[in-house]
């Protein structure tokens, strides 16, 4: 191979590696946006951290893509626990969705094992469900400016009626 061809080849490899490492860094940043606040909520209740699961992330991504056209807040009814989020515009990030879910903790009463009247707290209890070990999540910007759809899937699932999350 000529020297100039070798330089072009090496240059292409370097560009590929830079793009790959940037993509990987962006992916890890996205994963961290999902994981850090959920694991902080679990730590506040002395729960072990959730572990990122690629199989669950693949499922979440598959389902989020089903919602890309309509951005409807509709659950997948799959085999996992699931939190879903919708926000108008295209700027909503994973940390925003998780913050909304975790903020429901203010409505959860452990002693009565219920949400305050008329309030939602099931997203929070899924995050801190004691037997849940793994999570995978996805974010899509919906078509036609319909907003952002974000979902997390949990395994094993939680939120069983009559059971406390921890």
Asked whether the beta carbons of 132 and 126 are under 8 A apart, the reply is yes
Mean pLDDT of 83-89: 98
Q: What is the pLDDT of residue 5?
A: 47
Helix (H, G, I), strand (E, B) or coil at 35: helix
Checking if the pLDDT of 142 tops 70, the result is yes
How do residues 10-31 score in pLDDT, each as one tens digit?
444 444 433 444 454 576 688 9
What percent of the chain has pLDDT above 70? 84
Mean pLDDT of 97-105: 98
CATH for 67: 3.40.33.10
Question: H or E element: which one contains 144?
Answer: none
Evaluate whether residue 5 is within a structural domain: no
Checking if the pLDDT of 35 tops 80, the result is yes
Checking if the pLDDT of 102 tops 80, the result is yes
Q: What is the pLDDT of residue 34?
A: 98
Give the total number of structural domains in the chain: 1
Evaluate whether residue 151 is within a structural domain: yes
Is 65 or 3 the better-scoring residue by pLDDT? 65
Evaluate whether residue 164 is within a structural domain: no
For residue 161, which of 123, 114, 124 has the smallest C-alpha distance? 114
Evaluate whether residue 1 is within a structural domain: no
**11-20, 29-38, 61-70, 109-118: the lowest-pLDDT one:** 11-20
The overall average pLDDT reported for the chain is 89
Evaluate whether residue 131 is within a structural domain: yes
pTM of the predicted model, to two decimals? 0.84
Evaluate whether residue 60 is within a structural domain: yes
Domain span holding position 60: 12-155
Length of the chain: 166
Only one residue has tokens 């389902």, namely: 63
User: Would you call the peptide bond into 156 cis, given omega within 30 degrees of 0 as the criterion?
Assistant: yes
3-state secondary structure 40-82: HHHHHCCCCCCEECHHHHHHHHHHHHHCCCCCCCCCCCCCCEE
Q: What is the pLDDT of residue 30?
A: 86
Q: What is the pLDDT of residue 29?
A: 85
């Amino acid at each position: 191979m000529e020297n100039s061809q070798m330089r072009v080849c090496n240059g292409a490899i370097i560009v590929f590696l830079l793009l790959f490492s940037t993509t990987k860094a962006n992916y890890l940043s996205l994963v961290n946006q999902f994981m850090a606040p959920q694991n902080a909520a679990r730590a506040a209740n002395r729960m072990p951290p959730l572990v990122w699961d690629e199989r669950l992330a693949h499922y979440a991504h598959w389902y989020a893509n089903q919602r890309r056209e309509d951005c409807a807040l509709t659950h997948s009814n799959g085999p996992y626990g699931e939190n879903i989020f919708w926000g108008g515009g295209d700027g909503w990030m994973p940390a925003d969705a998780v913050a909304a879910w975790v903020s429901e903790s203010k409505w959860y009463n452990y002693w009565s094992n219920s949400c305050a009247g008329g309030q939602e707290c099931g997203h929070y209890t899924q995050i801190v469900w004691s037997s849940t070990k793994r999570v995978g999540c996805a974010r899509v910007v919906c078509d036609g400016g319909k907003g952002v759809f974000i979902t997390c899937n949990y395994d094993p699932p939680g939120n069983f009626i009559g059971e406390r999350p921890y």
